[in-house]
Chain A
Amino acid sequence: MGDTRQRPLGRAWLVASRLGVYLVVLGLLVAGAFSSRGFLSYGNLLSIVDGVMLLGIVVTGMAFVTYSGHYADLSVPTTMAFAGVVAVEFLRFGFGAAMAGGLCVGLTVGLVNGVVVGGLRANPIVWTLAVSYVTKGLMRWLWLNRQIYPDVKSGATGAGEWFVQLYRQEVLGKITLPMVVLVAMAMAAQFVLRWTTFGRQLRLVGANPEAARLSGVPTGRTVGLAFVLSALAAAVAGVFITSLSKVGAYYNGEGYDFDAVTAIVIGGMTLTGGRGDIVGALGGVLVIGLMGNLMTLVGIDTFSQRIIKGLVFIAAVGIGTGVLRRLGREDA
């Protein structure tokens, strides 16, 4: 029992697990280069990033929840949709109001999740699943199951055009606004995780909530804040996705919950919390993007892609836990 610690293979795996996801990224790039000529072109690479940048934005938030040992925030897809719909609805008051409205949705959902899961210690999966259900119903009821359109809602103010342009706005060459936002948010998130009281206490809560409590950490508030950050990031992604699709609808953002958890786990954050970081999680996002692109290039249809994605998730969780257990680093 006692001597699992210095097993060289395990040590190597731990190092690999830190860099690992970028080794996988590299492997996929090589594989792509062999399978298709145009794969490594600037255009294709950019389109890969383009395809997963909203996922990246979601991940920079949800990673805090996983890191805290609370697995995942399943209310992310509906928070995205809700933020988008409210933003479109608020376009009539101007572009600024629309942005503020969208973010307020994120803040509200996050606070509710934070209070209930952090403060009242509800099961995070069950609670956020229920929230997503309620939110979706609320949207369909409030907007009478209709989609809403930015240009119609904004009237003659021109805010609608701005809104639609949001996702497509090029900032530097072909680098678009969402990419810039993603990089900024990722840097901020990594900083928060590593360099703030909150980040350090979150790590302690994720690693052992009881020990954290017995170290004087306000565990409820800490976990609550993780959920607020998750919902805020989802709201940002939601505004962008609505801008992309040019329509506010309850189904925007569907599937982002599972993709985000998959990326986070592939990126080296275990579901038990307290491990990994944002840089790794974004590596997971890249893996998902590359995998999708590659599979499409090879000619695998979307439904089969879903199956493969699911299997990859299972493998990532399984391998992670298996190795950690073998190493004696997992509790239980």
Chain B
Amino acid sequence: MAEIGQPSTIGLALEMRSIRKAYPGTVAVDGVDFSVSAGEVHALVGENGAGKSTLMKILAGALPDYEGEVRISGQVVRLSSPAVARRHGIGMIYQELSLAGPVSVAENLLAGQLPVRWGLVLDGRRRDALAREALARVGLALDPGRAVEDLSQHEAQLVEIAKVLRRRPCILVLDEPTSALSREEVDRLFAMVRRLRQGGLAIVYISHHLAEVFRIADRVTVLRDGRRMATSPIGELTPETLIERMVGRAADRLYASQARPVVGGERLRVTRLTRPGFFHDVSFTARTGEVLGVGGLSGAGRTELARSLAGLDPIGSGQIELDGRPFRPRSLARSIRHGVAYLTEDRKRLGLALRLSTGENIVSAIIGRLARGGLLSPGAGAGMVEDLVAALQIHPADATTPVRSLSGGNQQKALLAKWLATDPKVLILDEPTRGVDVGAKRVIHDAIERLAAGGTTVLLISSDLPELLGLSDRILVLRRGRVARELSRPEFSEEAVLLAAGGGGAHG
């Protein structure tokens, strides 16, 4: 590392060549070249599923079975484990911080290498001095004795960065570092990133906020469908050209999208709904048989809005009307009874009981409804389960199979079946096809269309833009907890959604 600063190729802190990583059924990253020089901020952008996180996992040593070559400071290395990656000077800062909340800043910073005296006794003074020194590198002057949980999100993030910097990395990866920060905090973070750049660090910056990319990056690499679409200096790009490269074949419509006639009247009316800190003044209406898309970046408040509508989280203020009558979602059980269903984005942790069978999962939200006077036979609802398994082509079709052994796509179909079983009037779908294969995706999309045709109101939250545009009748775009824009079908385009979600204009 000592020779950094010599001619251009040696100046490359990181060079990844022809990187490829395949999973059964998909190629996540396909022949990608990516390099960062010392003293450069290189932004990595792309839609969800473009391959950014796979590429970064490889860099972090979490996916040792990649193909291709990685050079660090000119030397070929094999990133076979996170420890190896760390040893080669790669520092990762994820959205989720890895700090222990109740423990002091100093001990978090020096975890595993606390200074001791006489090989035994903790040297508190030296500990605090070392901690202050580390904090100074990120421009933070706080008491090292404070517990991390008492810090603001921004301070905690800086502590995390300081912790990584203590290992003297030559490459620093920042993954969506601003998603929880206020505007001023973003400014301060950027000032620090620029200082680190000046100090010769190679920085990889991942963000969905394109405006930020234009503020901080020197170069940009665009990934799409696992391939590298472009790498160019930031000066040669505008937000529009960048989005175009991210989206690619914009005309490529997967969806038949014959606009369904929206038949019914108003079913759901939401007026100035607010949950302080999560979403504010959200108003919209949805009609029977309508698919209302909800777009926005992660952290824009989409899931929070859905959870509040379903009665899982509280509501601060505002009104909801269901079929013209005021509706107060106090608990999920009550919402289900009123015909409001919510399909969670986290199928494994919150959606399914993985140990139980497909059939048991499908009836799990209607156990009470199937029962007569509190009694029900172990086989109750079998007919309905059979119908749903057939309709959604769940494989294996044997409903006694533990759901754990189903593929991701079939698990997702089972989760959808569970909510279809409740016969909902309003179905809120939170990322209904995240991480599923193309076949399952088609089945789920067909089911959504059939459902809408049958009069169900669907709220479709999706980060998959082709899906959002293909299925929705209207799209509501949220940005930082507020409705940024409502798009009607003629206005639909990926660019429009991305711009409204935070791609263009001032820092969103």
Q: Chain A contacts of B352 at CB under 8 A?
A: 208, 211
Tell me which residues from 1 to 28 in chain B have a Cβ below 8 Å from any Cβ of chain A.
24
**Measured between C-beta atoms, what is the minimum distance from B291 to chain A in Å?**
22
- A-B CB proximity, top 7 nearest: A5-B405, A207-B353, A216-B333, A208-B353, A215-B365, A197-B371, A215-B364
Query: Is the Cβ of B332 less than 8 Å from the Cβ of A274?
Result: no
Cβ contact of B378, chosen from A5, A195, A211, A215, cutoff 8 A = A195
New A-B pairs, 9, CB < 8 Å, besides A2-B24, A214-B312: A5-B405, A196-B376, A204-B356, A204-B364, A210-B350, A211-B349, A213-B332, A216-B332, A328-B404
> Which of A's residues lie within 8 Å of B, judged by CB?
2, 5-6, 194-198, 200-201, 203-204, 207-208, 210-218, 274-275, 328-329, 331
| Set B349, B356, B365, B407: member contacting A216, Cβ < 8 A | B365
Check B344 for interface membership: any CB of A closer than 8 A. Answer: yes
User: Could you tell me the distance between the alpha carbons of A2 and B354 in the complex, rounded to whole angstroms?
Assistant: 14
Query: What residues of chain B have their CB less than 8 Å away from a CB belonging to chain A?
Result: 24, 312, 331-333, 335-336, 342, 344, 349-356, 360, 364-365, 367-368, 371, 374-378, 402, 404-405, 407, 418
CB neighbours of A329 from chain B (8 A) = 355, 402, 404
User: What is the CB-to-nearest-CB distance from B42 to chain A, in angstroms, rounded to a whole number?
Assistant: 33
Of all chain A residues, which has the CB nearest B307?
A: A214
Contact pick for B355, options A197, A208, A213, CB 8 Å = A208
Pick from B24, B333, B335, B378: contact of A218, CB under 8 Å: B333
* A201 and B356 contact, CB distance less than 8 A: no
Which residue of B331, B353, B368 is within 8 Å of A197 (Cβ)? B368
CB distance B356 to A194 under 8 Å? no
Q: Residues of B contacting A200 with CB < 8 Å?
A: 360, 367, 376
Chain B residues near A196 (CB-CB < 8 A)? 371, 374-376
Contact B418 A208 (CB under 8 A): no
State whether A195 touches B364 (Cβ < 8 A). Answer: no
With contact pairs A196-B375, A214-B344 given, residues A203 and B350 touching in the complex (Cβ less than 8 Å): no
A4 to B355, CA, bound (A): 14
Judge whether A212 and B376 touch: CB under 8 Å.
no
* Docked CA distance A195–B333 (Å): 21
Q: Is the CB of B376 within 8 A of A195?
A: yes
A214 to B310, CA, bound (A): 10
Distance between A2 CB and nearest chain B CB, rounded to angstroms: 7
B374 touches A211 (CB 8 A): no
Contacting residues, chain A, for B336 (C-beta < 8 A): 216
Chain B: minimal CB distance from A118 (Å): 16
| Alpha-carbon gap, A215 to B404, bound state (A) | 18
Query: How far apart sit A195 and B312, CA to CA, in the bound complex (Å)?
Result: 28
Which residues in A have their C-beta under 8 angstroms from that of B354?
207-208, 331
User: How near does chain B come to A72, taking the closest CB pair, in angstroms?
Assistant: 20
Residues of chain A lying within 8 A (CB to CB) of residue B349: 208, 210-211
List 27 interface pairs A-B (beta carbons < 8 Å), by A numbering: A2-B24, A5-B404, A5-B405, A6-B405, A195-B376, A196-B375, A196-B376, A197-B375, A197-B376, A200-B367, A203-B360, A204-B353, A204-B364, A204-B367, A207-B353, A211-B350, A214-B342, A214-B350, A214-B351, A216-B336, A216-B368, A217-B333, A217-B364, A218-B333, A274-B353, A275-B355, A331-B355
With A197-B371, A213-B332, A215-B418 given, is the CB distance from A274 to B376 under 8 Å? no
Determine the residue in chain A with the shortest Cβ distance to B396. Answer: A5
A218 and B331 CA atoms in complex are apart in Å by 9
Contact B350 A217 (CB under 8 A): no
Measured CB to CB, the nearest residue on chain B to A324 is B355
Min CB distance, A213 to chain B, in Å?
7
Q: How far apart are B206's CB and chain A's nearest CB, in angstroms?
A: 26
Contacts of B405 in A (CB 8 A): 5-6
CA gap between A259 and B355 in the complex, in Å: 27
Q: How far is the CA of A287 from the CA of B365 in the complex (A)?
A: 37
Neighbouring B residues of A2 by C-beta, 8 Å: 24, 407
Q: How far is the CB of B397 from chain A (nearest CB, A)?
A: 15
The CA-CA distance from A203 to B378 in the complex, in Å, is 12
In the assembled complex, the CB of B252 is this many whole angstroms from the nearest CB of chain A, namely 31
Q: Which residues of A contact B407 (CB under 8 A)?
A: 2
| A331: chain B residues within 8 A (beta carbon) | 354-355
The distance in angstroms between the C-alpha atoms of A328 and B355, with both chains bound, is 10
| Residue of A whose beta carbon sits closest to that of B311 | A216
Which residue on chain B has the smallest CB distance to residue A197?
A: B371
**B404 to chain A: closest residue by CB:** A329
The docked-state distance in angstroms from the alpha carbon of A329 to that of B344 is 22
B residues in contact with A201, CB < 8 Å: 367-368
Shortest C-beta distance, A135 to chain B (Å), equals: 31
In the docked arrangement, what's the CA distance between A212 and B344, Å? 12
Shortest beta-carbon distance from A229 to chain B in Å = 14
Cβ of B371 to closest chain A Cβ, rounded Å: 4
A274 and B356 contact, CB distance less than 8 A: yes
Q: Determine the chain A residues whose CB is within 8 A of the CB of B402 once the complex forms.
A: 5, 329
Q: How far is the CA of A122 from the CA of B12 in the complex (A)?
A: 55
Report A325 CB to chain B, min CB distance, Å: 12
- In the assembled complex, the Cα of A207 lies from the Cα of B404 at a distance in Å of 12
What residue in chain B is nearest A274 (Cβ atoms)?
B355
The answer to whether B351 and A211 touch across the interface, beta carbons within 8 angstroms, is yes
Q: Which residues of B are found within 8 Å of A6, using beta-carbon distances? A: 405
A211 touches B333 (CB 8 A): no
**B364 close to A212 (CB less than 8 A):** yes
Residue of B nearest to A273 (CB): B355
Q: Which residues of B contact A328 (CB under 8 A)?
A: 404
Residues of A within 8 A of B335 (CB): 216
Rounded to whole angstroms, the CA-CA distance of A91 and B284 in the bound complex is: 68
Q: Complex: how many Å from CA A6 to CA B405?
A: 9
A208-B355, A211-B350, A214-B332 given as contacts; is B374 within 8 A of A197 (CB)?
Answer: yes
A19 to chain B, nearest CB (A): 17
Alpha-carbon distance between A195 and B377 when the two chains are bound, in angstroms: 5
| CA gap between A328 and B356 in the complex, in Å | 13
Nearest B residue (CB) for A201: B367
**Cβ 8 A contact of A212, one of B342, B353, B355, B377:** B353
Alpha-carbon distance between A203 and B336 when the two chains are bound, in angstroms: 20
A329 to B355: give the CA distance in the assembly, Å. Answer: 6
Contacts of A208 in B (CB 8 A): 349, 352-355
| Shortest Cβ gap from B403 to chain A (Å) | 10
Instruction: Report chain B residues within 8 Å CB of A274.
Output: 353, 355-356
**Cβ–Cβ < 8 Å partners of B371 in chain A:** 196-197
Cβ A207 vs Cβ B378 within 8 A: no
A214: chain B residues at CB < 8 Å are 312, 332, 342, 344, 350-351
Residues of A within 8 Å of B355, CB to CB, are: 207-208, 274-275, 329, 331
With a CB–CB cut-off of 8 A, which chain A residues contact B342?
A: 214
Q: How far is the CA of A142 from the CA of B211 in the complex (A)?
A: 73
The distance from the CB of B336 to the nearest CB of chain A, in whole angstroms, is 5
Rounded to whole angstroms, the CA-CA distance of A208 and B376 in the bound complex is 21
A99 CA to B329 CA, complexed, in Å = 45
